[in-house]
A and B are shown apart, each in its own frame.
Chain A
Amino acid sequence: MAEPLPPRTPFGLAEPLRRRIGPVGIVERFDLALVSLAERQGKAEAFATAARAAGIPLPGPARRAEAPPFAAFWVAPGMWFVEAPLDTHPDPVAALKPVFGAAASLSEQTDAWVRLELAAGDLAPLLERLCNVDYATAPDGFATRTLIEHLGCYLIRLGPGAATLLGPRSSAESLLHAIETAAAAIA
């Protein structure tokens, strides 16, 4: 009989990664399921109705909204990334497909991204070294795609000292290196 395969984080570890560099704390999370939700052409009304019925928020451009157990952020016109706890929604596509039917296209994103929670008294000095987002003036709930080093990432502002960063899973080590280098520079 095959040996059970233990799940590994994007960093190849058994436990979520935790780092502290000077004022900056980095904590990895992999307890959230992620799915992309795209409105199909000409189905706007059915799409909005289904989202309301499922309790999924549909925030406007460059915004994130929460409605537990769901949270969603805008990624493109008519398209959102929806988050839900992995233990209650282990297969988010199967859970949402019956709700939206032909009104939406869904694709599993959970294992495509590494999710890092950044914390510091003020994250602006770190993020202005990493990307071109004007973090200091962005409102809370601001969510955008941006470029860190060569990696396309989603940056979500939760507060002046708290942010979520979603980066490509296969480049998790490179992304961490970029953050650690910038954090060391301001430490």
Chain B
Amino acid sequence: MLIPHPLLGPRDAQEFVYLGDAALIDRPDGTAAGIEAFHDYLYLRDNPAGQHRELWYHEQGDRSWLVVTRDTVTHEILKAELARDVALARGRGR
């Protein structure tokens, strides 16, 4: 499987480490958002048969985190973005 790295072009998936659902970027404030929101963030995941946004770490490359949009049925990779850019676009500080 090839992952189209936004900076480095197509890279072999064996260079990457998979973390999981990209929703992990949106961590609620553990003290302000309440226990329910934090519980859901920590334990509940969607498990779609189809498009899934997930975090991949380019460990044997440039050490960047990517948000990869992948079809879990066909394994087709539809999009890869730097997680940093995704977080900044959502108004995060970094």
Q: Which residues of A contact B (CB under 8 A)?
A: 41, 61-62, 74-77, 132, 144-147, 152
Contact = CB atoms under 8 A, between A and B. Distances in A.
Contact of A145 (B12, B14, B60, B84): B60
Given A41-B94, A61-B7, A75 B12 contact: no
DSSP majority for the A interface? strand
A76 B63 contact: yes
B8 A77 contact: no
B62 A76 contact: yes
B61 interface: yes
5 contacts: A41-B94, A61-B8, A61-B62, A77-B64, A77-B84
Contacts of B84: 77
B69 to A, nearest CB: 20
A147 B8 contact: no
B8 A62 contact: yes
B82 interface: yes
Contact of A75 (B15, B62, B94): B62
Contacts of B7: 61-62, 77
A76 B15 contact: no
Contacts of B82: 77
A152 B60 contact: yes
A147 B63 CA distance: 13
